[in-house]
Amino acid sequence: MKPSEPQITTQTQVVVVFGVGAEQGIGAAVCRRFAQAQYKLYVVGRSVKKVQRVANTINHHGGRAVAHVVDAEDSVQVQALFDQISQQQEYLAAVIHNVGGNIPSIFLQTRSDFFNQMWRSTFLSAFVVAQSSLKIFQKQQSGTLLFTGASASMRAKPFFAAFSMGKFALRNYALNLAQYYRSAQIHVAHIVIDGMVDGDRVNRALWGLGRIARLTRGTGGLNIDAIAESYWMLHQQTAELWTHELDLRPYQEKF
């Protein structure tokens, strides 16, 4: 069972969040929420400026966070990070995979290398992160592994065939892992972010047109702090009743 607060142990309790970008984004919001509960955060992403900014904000408000620049598609880099955690004898409480952007493309004009790029970002990175983290979770006989999905995890829309391919695969992979590892007290869950997110990625897209599109849809978008609270809720669930898939959308979003 996982209590409502970090387990009593001499080891430092750590949470690793992959795919952290802008401070107004899902990854950063999740980092801040777990930091509030006194976990040490590994803030992981590709941009040194962005991950350092998120880590600095957490540390400025009394939390503990370290920034790491890691390519989640690179198994050597990912394994090196988890080896560091093991060598420091830290307790891995949770890992959140939040990697992959929804880049549109016209199918008949889409090159195979673009499909490969999207597959590596949306699915391969999840495979790599899961393999490294689950090795530690198995030794501990506990841990939480969360994957960020999208509307594309459930249904493909025009211009997003490549993105849907990876997200469809990720969803099935996550649910398979959930079944396989639950007997080892490892909680695996997939979160469907079904709607536009009220964050920097959408609001700054196309020179601000993304924000206009979000507002004119009438939904207002998904609040990143509310999303982060749902990730925290999943981590707090006990083994008596685990959620393996959570569907999040604004109350006005069609589905």
Neighbours of 40 (CB within 10 A): 22
Asked if residue 186 is part of any domain, the answer here is yes
pLDDT at residue 237 greater than cutoff 70: yes
What pLDDT score does 89 carry?
96
Q: Which amino acid is at 195?
A: G
Instruction: Determine which helix (DSSP H) or strand (DSSP E) holds 149, and give its type and residue range.
Output: strand 143-150
The β-bridge relationship of strands 143-150 and 91-97 is parallel
- Predicted model pTM: 0.87
Asked if residue 103 is part of any domain, the answer here is yes
Asked if residue 199 is part of any domain, the answer here is yes
Asked if residue 77 is part of any domain, the answer here is yes
Query: Domain residues for 217?
Result: 13-248
pLDDT at residue 2 greater than cutoff 60: no
Q: What share of the chain is helix, strand, coil (3-state, %, to 5)?
A: 50, 20, 30
Q: Which residue has the higher pLDDT, 213 or 82?
A: 82
Contact 51, 78 (CB under 8 A): no
Asked if residue 2 is part of any domain, the answer here is no
For the chain, give the mean pLDDT. 87
The model's confidence at residue 229, banded by pLDDT at 50, 70 and 90, is very high
Asked if residue 7 is part of any domain, the answer here is no
- Residue 42's CATH number: 3.40.50.720
Q: What is the mean pLDDT of residues 208-236?
A: 74
Instruction: Determine which helix (DSSP H) or strand (DSSP E) holds 180, and give its type and residue range.
Output: helix 161-181
Report how far apart, in Å, the C-alpha atoms of 226 and of each of 38, 101, 199, 221 are.
Answer: 19, 20, 12, 11
Both tokens assigned to 94: 């949770």
What pLDDT score does 210 carry?
46
pLDDT at residue 160 greater than cutoff 70: yes
The arrangement of strands across the sheet holding 245-248 comes to: 64-69, 40-45, 13-18, 91-97, 143-150, 186-193, 245-248
Asked if residue 255 is part of any domain, the answer here is no
Q: Which residue has the higher pLDDT, 102 or 121?
A: 121
Asked if residue 6 is part of any domain, the answer here is no
- Our count of domains for the chain comes to 1
Give 188: exposed, middle or buried? Use CB within 10 Å, 0-12, 13-18, 19+. Answer: buried
